[in-house]
């Protein structure tokens, strides 16, 4: 689809944006945001602002202003094409749902399209739209809690599923701030964090009700766990705020591999090398090892400590 050249059109670049603002305002006149008395036009305006902040083209910003007019107003595709061109129309159509289908069918169709067919422009438009929605959801959730979900056709679990799958489709946008903001907002609204311990040591858990991951002290990465295992673990763990979970993750990552991890993987060359690198990063010198040997290795078995010392000395000499 060829983009419209607004610099040579009857409107001009700035004038056509003004025209789109007035057009969207008139089209959505009298409409309100779900469950509120806030004018609906605030949503298209915010979508356009998000796209503007991302340095998107004029056509995409206009599509942001108009992205709901086909779905929620009497405006026809012919009018959009006449006023703003076929490229803007195609962007709006990519973000419009067929309201004759069920909620599940519509959302799955959107996920499938964004995963397999969407262009970068279409992904940006969809991400900006969903980011604006999730900003509103978080603000309302902070105010009224789980009562919020009564406003929606489907409850928290279904909304969590939908936004989770959409964020997966937005992965090509990871260079854009909007991608990271929507990812963080998702965890704020839908994810609960827990702290616990298992055979691997201190562990952080996060779950959205459908998928659960754990962050192990001895691996320092998020690993999926089954629903059955989570149901066994959940009574033994303690819910914690997201901020505390982040602090724990940072601490565990900075301490990786820990002495406990090193003891559990005594013959793992990669762990031994990582431990040696960590000691160098923390500012230790070769004089560390006589003290360790005198202290019975600090609990580290002699063969493993000898391997750590060899790796440390080789890396230390190389770094010099």
Q: Other C-beta atoms within 10 Å of 316: how many?
A: 15
71 flagged as catalytic: yes
Distance in angstroms (rounded) separating the CA atoms of residues 212 and 222:
10
Helices 58-66 and 13-27 pack at an angle, to 10 degrees, of: 10
Distance in angstroms (rounded) separating the CA atoms of residues 97 and 145:
28
Helix residue ranges per DSSP H, 36-152 = 42-53, 58-66, 69-72, 77-84, 86-94, 103-116, 120-144
The two tokens of residue 79 are 């009018």
The two tokens of residue 147 are 């009562």
Q: How big is the chain, counted in residues?
A: 320
The two tokens of residue 254 are 């900075």
- 85 contacts: CB under 8 Å, gap ≥ 6: 3, 4, 9, 59
Active-site position among 4, 5, 59, 71:
71
Residues of the chain by 3-state class (helix, strand, coil), percent to 5 = 65, 10, 25
CA distances from 1 to 49, 85, 116, 119, 182 (A): 24, 10, 18, 11, 28
Q: In what order do the strands lie in the sheet with 192-198?
A: 222-225, 212-216, 201-207, 192-198, 238-240
72 flagged as catalytic: yes
- Return the sign of the alpha-carbon dihedral for residues 99, 100, 104, 108: negative
Active-site position among 72, 97, 181, 268:
72
Residues designated catalytic: 71-72
């Amino acid at each position: 689809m060829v983009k419209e050249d607004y610099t040579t059109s009857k409107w001009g670049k700035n004038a056509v944006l003004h025209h789109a603002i007035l057009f969207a305002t008139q089209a959505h006149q009298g409409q309100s945001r779900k469950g509120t008395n806030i004018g609906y036009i605030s949503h298209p305006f915010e979508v356009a602002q998000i796209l503007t902040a991302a340095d998107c083209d004029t056509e995409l910003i206009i599509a942001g202003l108009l992205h709901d007019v086909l779905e929620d107003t009497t405006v026809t595709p012919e009018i959009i094409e006449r006023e703003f061109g076929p490229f803007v129309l195609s962007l709006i159509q990519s973000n419009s749902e067929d309201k004759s289908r069920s909620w599940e069918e519509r959302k799955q169709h959107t996920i499938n399209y964004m995963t397999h067919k969407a262009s970068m422009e279409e992904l940006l438009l969809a991400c900006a739209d969903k980011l604006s929605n999730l900003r509103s959801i978080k603000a309302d959730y902070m105010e009224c809690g789980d009562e919020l979900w009564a406003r929606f056709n489907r409850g928290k679990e279904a909304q969590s599923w939908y936004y989770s799958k959409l964020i997966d489709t937005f992965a090509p946008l990871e260079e854009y701030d909007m991608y990271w903001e929507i990812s963080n907002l998702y965890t704020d609204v839908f994810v609960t964090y827990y702290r616990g311990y298992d055979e691997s040591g201190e562990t952080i858990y996060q779950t959205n009700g459908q998928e659960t991951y754990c962050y192990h002290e001895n691996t320092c990465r998020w690993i999926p766990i089954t629903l059955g295992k989570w149901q066994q673990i959940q009574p033994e763990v303690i819910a914690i705020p997201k901020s505390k979970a982040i602090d724990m993750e940072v601490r565990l990552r900075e301490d990786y591999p820990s002495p406990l991890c090193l003891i559990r993987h005594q013959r793992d060359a990669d762990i031994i090398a990582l431990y040696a690198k960590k000691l160098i990063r923390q500012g230790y010198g070769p004089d560390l090892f006589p003290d360790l040997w005198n202290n019975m290795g600090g609990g580290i078995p002699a063969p493993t400590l000898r391997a750590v010392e060899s790796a440390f000395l080789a890396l230390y000499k190389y770094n010099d």
